Chains A and B, each alone.
Chain A
C-alpha cells in the first residue's frame, strides 16, 4: 500500500510539474464555456443588407426605415442596378438584397398588390433562411399595421420556448462542454500518459517494481479523476454564476452520473493505451475515435435527428450521446433518476464491458 501511495504521489508530481498542460487543462473549460456562451450564436443580429429601390417613393422609404430600425439589419449599401447584386455577394459585403419593383406605391394603390424581391446569399443556407424570414416578417408586420381594419381573421401565434426562453447558446453547450472535457482529460490524456511510459521505455521499470499491473494503471489514472472532478465543478460554477444557469435537478445525482462517465472514459483511455505503442498513434486514435464523435456525433452541436440513418447508429453506440441526455434531463429539465435510469444503465453496462476488456488486455508483457 505504501508503494502504491508513493506511486500516486509521483504521478501527481508529474502532472503538476508540467505547468503548460496544467494551465490548458484548467483554462480549457473556462475558455470553451465563454466561447460557446458568447460566440456561437445563429441569431440574426446586425446582418448586412443592401437595398435596390427602383421606385424610391414614400411607401418604399417607409418600409426601408422599418427594416433599418428593426435592430436585425444594417443597411450598408444602396445600389442602383441588378448587376451590382452579384458584385455585393461576391465581395461578401452583404447577406441579402431587398429589391423593390418600379412604381411600387402606384401599384399598391391601383392593383392593390406590389412585389418585394428578397435575394439572399444562400452559400450559408441557414443564415440565408433566417435573414429572409426575418425580413418577410418585418414586411408582413408593416402591412398588418397599415391594414388593421381591413384584414379579417388573424391567426395569432404565441410561441413558448421551454427550458430556454431567451434561446441562449449556453444551454446547449454546458452539457456538451462537460462531456468533451471529461473525454479529453480522462481518455485522451490517460492514454497518452500511459503510452508515453511505453515509448520512453520507462514502463518496463514500472512493471518490475513490486506494484501490480492494476495498481500501476490505477495509480496512473487516479490524478486524472481528481482533475476532471475539479473541472466538472468549475463548469457548474461558471454556468451558474456567469451564465445564470443553475442545476435544476439533484446535484448529487449529477455528480454521481459524472463519476460514472469519468470511469467510462478512463476505461476507454486504458483500452487505447493497451493497443498502441506510440504517443502519436494514441493521440490520433483518441482524436478520431473519441473527440470527433464526442463533439459531432453526440447531439452536442448538431441534432441527431438531422443525420442520415447510418450515422445515427454511430451516435447511439457513442456513450457521450447518453451522457449528454442525462445531463440535459438533470441540469436543464430538473428531472429525477427515474427519467434517466435507462441511459444510466447503458453507461454502466458499457463501463463494465470496457473495464473487463482493458484489464484483460493490459496484462500482456511488453515487447
Chain B
C-alpha cells in the first residue's frame, strides 16, 4: 500500500496536470480561400502566423474541407468566399465563414473567441490600410479595450489545475483509503476481535483515522513541493492557513468515509459508494469549470459540498494570496461541517455487528 500512496501523487501531478489542459493551442485549421486577393491573403496570413492556430491544409472545395472535419483531420475551417475583397470595397461588407467541429462545445467556443479576436484585429488593420488612421476616428470615435490578466498573466492553465489535483489527492487519501481500511477489517472478520477488546469506539475511530489524516497532510506538502518544483506554481498566500483549513477539511471528508464504511459490508461496496460520491462532489466542486456557470440548483447543492469550499479556498490562498479575513466565512462553514459529520459518523459507528 505504501508505494501506491507515494506513487499516486507523483503520477497524478505529472500526468493529470499536463493532460487536464484547456489551454488551446495548435487548433488545426483548414483554409478555403476562394477569393485569392491580397486582402484575403492578409487574413489567411494572420491565421498561419498565430500561435493558437496550426494550418493543416489549404483547399478550394468547401466539401473537401467539411470532409476533413468529419475525418477529424482539422478542428475548424475558414472559408473566404470569392468576391470577398470586391464586396468589402464596394458594399463595405465582406462575409467570411467559420466552421467548427463542435462536438466538444467548450473547445469550439474558445476557438471561436480566438478567431474572433484575430478577425477584429485584421478588420481594423484593413480599414487603416485603405482609409488611413483618421477614418477610425470619424463619427463617435473608438474605444480602446485593454485587457489585463491578474495573478496569472501568462494564462498558464497548469496554475489552475495544480491546486485542484492537490484537493483530489488529499480527498482520496482522507476519505477513500480510511474507509476501505475499516471495511477491510469487517470483511476479514478482524473487526469482531477488535470489538471484544475493551477499546472505546472513539479511540478505535481515532486510531483508524489519525494515520490517514497525517498521511494526507504529508501528501499535501509533498504535492505542493512537487508543484513548486516542476510547475513553479505561485504560492502567494500563507501556507499555515492552508494547512489549517486542509486539516479541518480532512476531518469532514474522513467523517464521510466513516459513514460509508458504516453502511458498507464489503470493500467492493465501500469502493463503489466512495467512488460514486467522490465523482459527483468533485465534478460539482468546480474542478474544471467555474461553479458560477452551473445552474442555480447545482449551486444550492454546492453549499453542502465540502470539496467545493476547499477547491475554492486552496486556489484563493495559493494563487491570489487571500488571507484569513477573506475566507473566514467559508472556513467557519467548513468547521461546523467537519464537526457535525464526524460526530454523526462516530455516533452511528457500532461496536456490535
Contacts and interface: CB of A to CB of B under 8 A. Distances in A.
A162 B289 contact: no
Contact of B103 (A171, A283, A284): A171
Contacts of A303: 24, 104, 107
B319 interface: yes
A114 B143 contact: yes
A163 B268 contact: no
Interface string B143-176: 1111111111101110110000000000000000
Given A91-B322, A153-B92, A118 B147 contact: yes
Given A130-B109, A140-B120, A288-B8, 19 more contacts: A28-B276, A41-B293, A46-B292, A92-B316, A112-B136, A115-B144, A115-B145, A116-B145, A126-B22, A130-B110, A147-B138, A147-B139, A151-B135, A155-B122, A157-B97, A157-B119, A279-B268, A292-B16, A305-B27
Contacts of B143: 108, 113-116, 139, 142-143
Nearest to B135: A152
Interface residues of B, number: 117
A92 B180 CA distance: 36
B69 A162 contact: yes
B212 interface: no
A24 B273 contact: yes
Q: Which of the listed residues A39, A134, A146, A156 has the most CB atoms from chain B within 10 Å of its own CB?
A: A39
B283 A35 contact: yes
A21 interface: yes
Nearest to B130: A153
Interface string B2-29: 0010001001100110111111111110
A35 B284 contact: yes
B102 A90 contact: no
A306 B116 contact: no
B108 interface: yes
A311 interface: yes
A165 B108 CA distance: 10
16 contacts: A42-B110, A43-B293, A46-B292, A46-B293, A125-B152, A152-B130, A152-B135, A155-B126, A158-B98, A161-B100, A162-B69, A168-B105, A196-B268, A283-B267, A288-B4, A339-B70
A121 B315 CA distance: 12
A284 B292 CA distance: 33
A126 B156 CA distance: 9
B141 interface: yes
A147 B92 CA distance: 13
A117 interface: yes
Contact of A307 (B18, B69, B123): B18
B196 interface: no
Contact of B96 (A109, A140, A157, A306): A157
A45 B293 contact: yes
Interface of A: 18, 20-21, 24-25, 27-28, 31-32, 35-36, 38-48, 89-92, 95, 108-109, 111-130, 132-137, 139-140, 142-143, 146-147, 149-169, 171-172, 189, 192-193, 196, 200, 279-281, 283-284, 288, 292, 296-297, 301-303, 305-308, 311, 314, 325, 328, 332-333, 335, 339
B71 interface: yes
Contacts of A311: 15, 18-19
Contact of B95 (A28, A123, A156, A164): A156
A119 B269 CA distance: 48
A125 B164 CA distance: 14
A199 B23 CA distance: 45
Contact of A151 (B11, B21, B139): B139
Given A92-B322, A156-B95, A113 B141 contact: yes
Contacts of A151: 127, 135-136, 139
B263 interface: yes
Contacts of A325: 72
Contact of B150 (A121, A150, A328): A121
Contacts of B149: 120, 122, 125, 128, 132
B21 A153 contact: no
A49 B334 CA distance: 26
A92 B327 CA distance: 9
Nearest to A315: B19
B83 interface: no
B298 interface: yes
Contacts of A139: 143, 145
Given A120-B148, A288-B11, A112 B141 contact: yes
